[in-house]
Structure 1
Amino acid sequence: MPERHNFFRRASVVIAMATAVAVAVSGCGASSGGESAEGPSTIGLTWWGNAVRDENTRALADAFTELDPDITVETTNSDWGGYWDKLATQVAAGNAPDVIQMDDKYIREYGGRGALLELSDAGIDTSMFVPGSVDPGETAEGLMGISAGIIAPAIVINPAFFEAAGVAIPDDSTWTWDDFTALAAELTEKSPEGTFGTALPIINELSINVWLRQHGKEAFSEDGLGFDADDLAGWFEFNLDLQEAGAAPGADKAAEDMGKPIDQTAFALGQVGMNWIWSNQLNAYDAAMGGGLQLLRYPSLDGTAADAQLWYKASMLWSISARSKDPQAAAELINFLVNTPDAAQIQTTERGIPANTDLRESIQDKLTDSDEVHVAYLDAIESELGAPVVLPPVGAGNFPLVLQRYSEDVLFGRTTPDQAATAMIDELEANIAAAG
């Protein structure tokens, strides 16, 4: 049998790590990861995503197997909604795939219930990761996931929209929220009827996180919510103020935009000049609009970029099931995915910008114009980043859906910001308590 590559080999460490992990998952008894196989091994890899991700992930699995023919990778994929239902069933039954594409909304839930291996001693090298890009996988239980790529909150703008209105693109290192509102209102005033300066950020979980952080709060604490009803009501009121100023569309148009595919959104159709996104969504918007878009920092309260409280988010994470029969092979696969030029050449930026800075250089010749704008934006904000966000506790993974529901009630005047804020917090706290 060919010896596994020294780049990956950490067998004794991984065996000790796996054996020490006790699994306490609803529907199954205590268990631990199996010992590393020294002969041929088969591991499972699962992910959610679109057709492009499906194709390149299978190509990644094939490339890994070529490096180590003793390891066979069985691949499964699903759409976002079906993925989590299926994974919950597999974990409860004790047959989850070895390598799991994980999201930060659920990593505390799965890690806290013993369903994931702690990875700090797994031999997965993060020494070349950009500062701040390991933190998204850290929980109270330890390192439960490795960043597959990094992204950040951003405002995407359409320079052609600004040019047509005769409005200058702002200095995003000094603008405030008041500046933003005034600019968006000016864009509306100087643009054709039915078009607006900005989309509403009201249902956008990344935007409310930025807003809360700039006000000294977080969306979540270690055991619950990190904000109160007054904070949330202030967020709702800011969005109503945008509408009142004429800076953003009314309730009907805003609600219509919710949940649409990127190429059908008001921004993609040229009906608004600015939108609130995760930075990796630039590629899809550029593809829909023919390129040329720009990324700006979020405004801050005092006009200081360092006070914008942005952060690097893992576009997604790679985790290992606590019941993996070969945690060594699973760790080898993750190491391959996040640390090798071979993998980077296949994946490029599909899962965000590589956290490993060497890999960014290795794919420089494959970066699209959109990728280059994305990389430049992440580099520009690196020295200004705030502390890592607190990850959602168990029971709070549905926060975005709850936020959307109450946001629609506020926009359509079915409830006041204060009433919606109180009811939403009560619902979220009940969800967290029920799951505890």
Structure 2
Amino acid sequence: MRKTGKKILSAALVAAMAASVTACGGSAGTADKTTESAKTTETAAKVTEGTSKEESSSAEAGDEPITLSIAWWGGQERNDYTQKLLDLYTSEHPNITFQTSPSGWDGYFDKLATQAAAGAMPDIVQMDYLYISTYANNGSITDLKPYIDDGTIDVANIDPVLYGSGEINGKLAGMVASSSILSFTYNPEVLASAGVKEPAMDWTWAEFIEDCTQIADKTEAFGIETNFTDNINMLNYYVRQRGENLFSDDNKSLGYQDDAILVDYINMISSLVDKGAMPNPDQYAAISALGKESFPVVTGDAGFRNDWSNYATIVEGSNDTLKLVTPPMTEDKTKALWVKPGMFFSIAETSSDEKKKAAAEFIDWFINSEEANDIILAERGTPVSSAIRNYLSESGKLTKKQVEMFSFVDDAVTVCADAPAPDPAGISEISETYQTEIYNVLYGNKTPEKAAADFRTTVNEILERNN
């Protein structure tokens, strides 16, 4: 194992031991934190309830108390400012209080699936493009079109293509809350120390491989810290560059016919791992156990990381020198990238009509109000409202990285094509199969050809069963 890999693994093991100790009382701690957040919101509501009717600008006489449950994933910074948002909303709408369920990404959708199956899904759910089709198709989330039609959710300043990305089978399953683009974050200091030129948006896969190899050869850093296996969007991008789609139009099978596409993709990954330019499965498990702020590209132990366009903003406090570039292109410069909904807000179908209406009003406020976005400050991704983007850009409140992210997205649109349809039901199983088959090759258990063939067989069965 490379020296860098050992250092990362050691740090990860220490983190894992700490997490293990915390886990002994983890569920109680999380519950206490959630309860405390709810109490804080309720306290704000009680204070505001003392305000006279003349002084209350938002509450209407006769408004009945409503408690909305809301779930989201993210780190501590997101948890903290989201609670401030909820407190602010309650101060302006004294009849609305919130029961919160913040969580990390890991396990978020496992918990949500359990809640949905039990009919106990939170009223407002932060939803991802990977899973929105699954929850729409099983009837767990409500159609938001009526709330757009009656003006509850204002979409006047949102590109119809973007907010329409939440439409599944004729129903709007989620309201897009931010946008992002698949990107590569890079550490310019690592590239400079290896004598690698900073890439432009028209760089190619061949140049990417050469850059990663040179970084590994000239430094103790990985060329790229990720191995593509936890983000199937990378495969989707690679397939689209070959003029094909990852999934068929009816979502019942893979959309590409030639397994050579996946074989070439796996061979590229395997070659980079063999060169020490990309982490092997064990090294990547150690890296994944670290917090975002401690990932190798942040600490100078890797040149590149593939992620979304808001990653450099998220870790700006730990390293404000990181830069963004679009993923490598094919030699013929085929446009295959797309503007992706960063996340959605969906409303549970099991919620009462009264709660659905109140939830829709909150979502509109989250997306369109300047005061809400003064707190959010684009942490969840590029705001979907053009009015809010303009407001923030001119406000002077954005950090350097946030300004760079807005500029990057504007530039990256020039190499984007139409967005693919939302991922089909069963995407979680498909993503697991994707990683499993690539790891089978990296562990020497299968040839790339066998892995590609088995991926097709398994994924087609998953798609047929779920769609």
Which range, TM-score by smaller chain?
Answer: 0.7 to 0.9
Q: How many residues align?
A: 402
Q: In the alignment, is residue 338 of structure 1 matched against residue 364 of structure 2?
A: no
3-state SS of 2:213 partner: helix
Counterpart residue number, 2:142: 117
Counterpart residue number, 2:212: 184
With over 3 angstroms needed to count, the CA separation of the structure-2 counterparts of 1:263 and 1:407, relative to structure 1, is farther
Whether contact under 8 Å (2:241, 2:335) holds in the other structure is: yes
Counterpart residue number, 1:209: 236
Map of 1:21-420 to 2, 5 A cutoff? 39-123=64-148, 124-130=153-159, 132-172=161-201, 174-189=202-217, 191-192=218-219, 194-199=220-225, 201-203=227-229, 204-221=231-248, 222-224=250-252, 225-228=254-257, 229-243=259-273, 247-248=277-278, 253-254=283-284, 256-258=286-288, 260-288=290-318, 290-302=319-331, 304=333, 307-325=334-352, 326=354, 327-364=356-393, 365-420=396-451
**Alpha-carbon deviations, 1:3-54, whole Å to 9, x = none?**
9x99999xxxxxxxxxxxxxxxxxxxxxxxxxxx964433322222222222
**Alpha-carbon deviations, 1:147-186, whole Å to 9, x = none?**
22111111111111222223322332x3221222223333
CA shift for structure 1 position 340: 0.5
What residue identity is the alignment partner of 2:167?
E
Give the structure-2-normalised TM-score: 0.77
Q: Matches of 2:433 and 2:279 in 1, distance apart? A: 22
Q: Matches of 1:59 and 1:246 in 2, distance apart? A: 44
3-state SS of 2:378 partner: coil
* Aligned structure 1 segments of 4 or more residues deviating by more than 6 angstroms: 5-9
CA shift for structure 1 position 259: 5.0
3-state SS of 1:268 partner: helix
**Alpha-carbon deviations, 1:197-251, whole Å to 9, x = none?**
3345431323212111111223333323333533322210122243466754566
RMSD: 3.0
Counterpart residue number, 2:28: none
List alignment gaps of at least 5 residues for structure 1.
Answer: 10-36
Whether contact under 8 Å (2:227, 2:284) holds in the other structure is: no
What residue identity is the alignment partner of 1:41?
I
Whether contact under 8 Å (1:202, 1:407) holds in the other structure is: no
Counterpart residue number, 2:25: none
What residue identity is the alignment partner of 1:257?
I
Q: Matches of 2:221 and 2:90 in 1, distance apart? A: 52
What residue identity is the alignment partner of 1:170?
P
CA shift for structure 1 position 295: 0.4
Report percent identity of matched pairs: 29
List alignment gaps of at least 5 residues for structure 2.
Answer: 1-51
Comparing 317-326 and 42-51, the one that deviates more? 42-51
Q: Matches of 1:44 and 1:109 in 2, distance apart? A: 21
With over 3 angstroms needed to count, the CA separation of the structure-2 counterparts of 1:166 and 1:425, relative to structure 1, is same
Q: Matches of 1:109 and 1:117 in 2, distance apart? A: 13
Whether contact under 8 Å (2:426, 2:462) holds in the other structure is: yes
**Alpha-carbon deviations, 1:311-364, whole Å to 9, x = none?**
122222101112321222111011011111111011112211211122123334
Q: Matches of 1:217 and 1:135 in 2, distance apart? A: 22
Q: Matches of 2:464 and 2:428 in 1, distance apart? A: 13
Give the structure-1-normalised TM-score: 0.83
Which of the pair has the greater relative contact order for Cα pairs under 8 Å at 6+ separation? 1
3-state SS of 2:324 partner: strand
Q: Matches of 2:411 and 2:65 in 1, distance apart? A: 46
